[in-house]
Amino acid sequence: MRRINLILSLALVLACACTNSEQKDRKLYVGIPELVPDAILEIRYFGTYNFVGERIDGYKAPTALLTKEAAAALKEVSDYVMAQGFRLKIYDAYRPQMSVDHFVRWAADIPDTLMRAYFYPDVDKSLLFVREYIMEKSGHTRGSTVDLTLFDMNTGKEVDMGGTFDWFGPESHPDFCGDPVTGEYFPDVAAKEPRGITEQQFRNRQILRNAMLSHGFKPLSTEWWHFTLENEPYPDTYFTFPVE
């Protein structure tokens, strides 16, 4: 009996230590709605419209968190695009490690292709690890990465980026049908691509990209919607507390 009580006591101590650590980590973050009230939230991993097709572990509320430093920079981006008639629309920001683990388990379950038609119709699911669409670690878990798009206040619609968030394919690359550094669009390339984007769609991606880069974020070469604070405060820390 004493041994059982000792084990239970140790488990309780460890649980409390973990909780206290997570609470301490959470204080390093801020909710995007608190600092960027003009942003629209569409937290895909809280719902079922995502590449898995169910709510992802760790998303306990339809909100978005960022480190205080990243959120402050995002506020500047928001003010900048608001002056041009746009609002930011957030799909994801901080992502706990338990969520990434959920993605990894799903990717290993090859027969589960519920959402393939919407997010990866051109890719065999067995290749998701090989092509690094799914990885065991994510920059989102460090807390200074955000997935987003633009919302046009004049039309009342999302800006047409020529592709959906979390599309697994080359169409999501910022350099698809153009050079994002020079801003040059390649119509000949677009004409040859089965899913080529228009010049306007390429320009729309550039509006978002330029806004983010001019306010301290850096892009990802494979996702037009993904940006990380260049001077992220916790580059080696992968946080575990849930989104709530």
pLDDT greater than 50 at residue 13:
no
Q: Is residue 67 part of a domain?
A: yes
**In this structure, what CATH number is given to the domain that contains residue 198?**
3.30.1380.10
Catalytic residue among 184, 223, 230, 232: 223
Residue 90 domain-assigned (yes or no): yes
Comparing CA positions, the residue from 115, 60, 73, 108 lying closest to residue 216 is 73
How many structural domains does the chain have? 1
Whether 165 has a pLDDT exceeding 70, the answer reads yes
CB 152 within 8 A of CB 145: no
pLDDT at 128 over 90: yes
Q: Which domain, by its residues, includes 225? A: 29-229
Cα 104 to Cα 56, 107, 128, 240, distances in angstroms? 11, 5, 10, 16
* pLDDT, tens digit, 9 for 90 and up, residues 63-121: 999 999 999 999 999 999 999 999 999 999 999 999 999 999 999 999 999 999 999 99
Answer whether residue 5 is part of any domain. no
Kindly report the CA angle at 180 between 122 and 117, in degrees rounded to 5? 15
Residue 223 annotated among the catalytic residues of the structure? yes
Q: Return the percentage of the chain with pLDDT > 90, whole number.
A: 91
| Statement: residue 12 has pLDDT above 70 | no
pTM of the model: 0.92
Q: What are phi and psi of 129, to 5 degrees?
A: -70, -45
Residue 8 has pLDDT above 50, yes or no: no
Q: What is the pLDDT of residue 10?
A: 46
